[in-house]
Amino acid sequence: MRKKIIAGNWKMNKTPKEAVELTRMLKGLVDTDKSDVVFCVPAIDLIPVGEVLKGTNISLGAENVYYEESGAYTGEISPSMLKEVGVKYVIIGHSERRQYFAETDETVNKKVKKILEHDMIPIMCCGETLEQREAGITIEHIRIQVKKGLRDLSASDAEKVIIAYEPIWAIGTGKTATSNQAQEVCHAIRTVLGEIFGDTAEKMRIMYGGSVNGKNAAELFTMADIDGGLVGGASLKADFEKIVNY
């Protein structure tokens, strides 16, 4: 039985002061052990948010990391820096990073390996554009992203990785994939995971992300291959409670 996981992706929102206020407001609403709950916050908010989360079941997550240990990489943050401040999960390969910051399947793969080396859990994102969906190449595209992102991983490492299926046309647009559309792709992801890692695929968690809200969460999260959600906009509001307690 796979434990559900619901992660908020705050993106580039909330100053440290605002982040502390939001965390204080949300923590009483979403502190549960029924599902894994994660707040993925901007790097500058990690330390103060981590302080407020102490003593709760809510985990701290980062939105990115660099794949080198240290050195002349101005502006980047290393895996040990994240680990030291209590980060447990790291989002990798979000479509916004692929679109605006030149993230590729190759850099995603390097980051996934580094995160695992440092005993953190990668949440590796994949997803198709509207053009790819309309051209009928969604599954093909997702299979490539998953294979390249997880290249050279052992089954025991892969087991720790979480895949987030996020159709790009559904992110921040208010257009959610139907539960059947989301299930179809998440099932295809589990199939490709099975081809690479065998039975381990059944233990791996696959999340859906894209305009999840308090109204659609239950239907999405109860589909056979959907093990929770990556939530953008709605994770910044009290509505996040309805998603976590779907």
Chain contacts with ligand PEP (rule: CB under 6 A) = 9, 11, 166, 171-172, 209-212, 230-234
Residue 54 CB, nearest approach to ligand PEP (Å): 26
Active site residue 94: yes
Torsion (CA) 154, 121, 64, 61 in degrees, nearest 10: 180
Q: Which is nearer to ligand PEP, 197 or 217 (CB)?
A: 217
Q: How far is the CB of 146 from ligand PEP (least distance, A)?
A: 17
State yes or no: is 69 an active-site residue. no
What are the helix (H) ranges across the chain?
16-30, 46-53, 79-84, 95-100, 105-117, 130-134, 138-149, 155-158, 179-197, 217-221, 240-244
Nearer to ligand PEP, 78 or 103 (CB): 103
Residue closest to ligand PEP, measured at CB: 232
Q: Spot the catalytic one: 63, 94, 96, 118.
A: 94
For ligand PEP, the closer CB: 197 or 231 = 231
* Cα atoms in the 13 Å half-sphere on the side-chain side of 148: 15
| Gyration radius from the chain CA atoms | 17
Dihedral angle, C-alpha 116, 120, 121, 127, nearest 10 °: -80
Question: Taking the complex as a whole, how short is the minimal distance between the CB of residue 68 and ligand PEP, in angstroms?
Answer: 25
- Catalytically active residues are 94, 166
